């Protein structure tokens, strides 16, 4: 799509056709969907005698779906394989270069946003280039299909019409197939790839939650041993905004306790938002010296020695 001939006249252009005849053939190929738009574009290319960039919003936002909708099935496969592979290769090369040449000079907090911004800019540039040449590409496809129909059936208008309607027009099946592929890809990412990224981050958050809550419990246990009372006013300092620690004399999860230290996970972003609100609770039972632990986390997430009673 980005390497379309700008010859004069455009490729597959039939000079012998009258304007009315050419419009009729174009209408058969385009069908009723967006017919006025494409007829206007085709007329512009015919008048100027060469292909030139125009703007196409559908191709900018969803080229793959547009190709399937317009029955360009082979081109959709080529675009998804070659086009996306080219984008990914370009992003990889640029990221590797930036990683070695400049990333060490970038503050840690800005490194991931920078990587995302680089990938987004490259993807947007590619989408921009595709959108500029989509109308020229579709015009070229129409002229090719029309030329083939005229060569195969030079005197049979009914056959020409049937061929152009079969090869052109739109396909709701193609559009549905595109969205089905999109949903399938999102499902694969969610089920297969997202856990690979999320699991190490989840372990890090859970380790911090346990470590911070356990450290606070040790301080509370020492104060409790010295005073015989739950030190609810004991200041607990934590530098991690994702973990909130609270000291209480009771908790709904353990009604018989007289002192609890609860660590609550909060402010965790995607893809770990499911951890928000989860708790680790260290609690003391009256007339006993030891502390116990329970958690709202499931058995796979909670420490082996801190599971729900």
Domain check: are 32 and 92 in the same one?
yes
**Strands 259-265 vs 279-284: parallel, antiparallel or unpaired:** antiparallel
Domain check: are 134 and 243 in the same one?
no
Domain check: are 25 and 87 in the same one?
yes
Per-residue pLDDT of the chain (309 residues; tens, 9 = 90+): 444 566 566 778 898 999 999 999 999 999 998 999 999 999 999 988 888 999 999 999 999 999 999 999 999 999 988 888 899 899 999 999 998 888 888 888 888 889 999 999 999 999 999 999 999 999 999 999 999 999 999 999 999 999 999 999 999 999 999 999 989 988 888 887 877 878 888 899 999 999 999 999 999 999 999 998 999 999 887 888 899 999 999 888 788 889 999 999 999 988 888 999 999 999 998 888 889 999 999 888 888 777 544
Domain check: are 159 and 71 in the same one?
yes
Domain check: are 152 and 211 in the same one?
no
Which structural domain range is residue 284 located in?
Answer: 205-295
Check: pTM over 0.85? Answer yes or no: no
Residue 99 domain flag: yes
Residue 90 domain flag: yes
Residue 200 domain flag: no
Domain check: are 233 and 105 in the same one?
no
Residue 176 domain flag: no
Domain check: are 132 and 25 in the same one?
yes
Residue 227 domain flag: yes
Residue 253 domain flag: yes
Could you tell me the CATH number of the domain that includes residue 259?
3.30.700.10
């Amino acid at each position: 799509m980005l390497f379309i001939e700008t010859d004069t006249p455009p490729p597959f252009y039939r000079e012998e056709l009258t304007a009315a005849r050419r419009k009729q053939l174009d209408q058969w190929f385009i069908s009723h969907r967006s017919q006025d738009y494409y007829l206007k574009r085709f007329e512009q290319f015919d008048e100027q005698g060469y292909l030139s960039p125009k703007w196409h919003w559908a191709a900018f936002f969803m080229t793959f779906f547009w190709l399937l909708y317009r029955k360009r099935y082979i081109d959709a496969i080529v675009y998804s394989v070659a086009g996306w592979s080219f984008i990914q290769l370009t992003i990889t090369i640029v990221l590797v270069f930036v990683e070695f040449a400049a990333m060490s000079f970038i503050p840690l907090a800005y490194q991931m946003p920078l990587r995302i911004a680089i990938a987004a800019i490259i993807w947007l540039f590619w989408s921009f280039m595709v959108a500029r040449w989509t109308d020229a590409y579709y015009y070229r496809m129409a002229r090719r299909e029309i030329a083939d129909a005229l060569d195969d059936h030079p005197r049979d208008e009914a056959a020409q019409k049937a061929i152009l309607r079969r090869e052109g027009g739109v396909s709701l099946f193609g559009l549905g197939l595109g969205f089905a592929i999109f949903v399938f890809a999102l499902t694969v990412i969610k089920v297969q790839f997202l856990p690979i990224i999320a699991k190490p981050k989840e372990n890090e958050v859970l380790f911090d939650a346990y470590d911070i809550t356990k450290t606070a419990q040790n301080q509370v246990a020492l104060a409790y041993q010295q005073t015989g009372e739950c030190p609810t006013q004991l200041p607990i300092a934590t530098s991690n905004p994702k973990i909130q620690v609270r000291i209480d004399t009771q908790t709904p999860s353990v009604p018989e306790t007289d002192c609890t230290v609860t660590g609550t996970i909060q402010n965790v972003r995607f893809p770990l938002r499911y951890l928000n609100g989860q708790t680790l609770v260290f609690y003391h039972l009256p007339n006993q010296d030891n502390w116990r632990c329970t958690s709202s986390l499931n058995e796979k997430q909670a420490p082996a020695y801190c599971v729900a009673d």
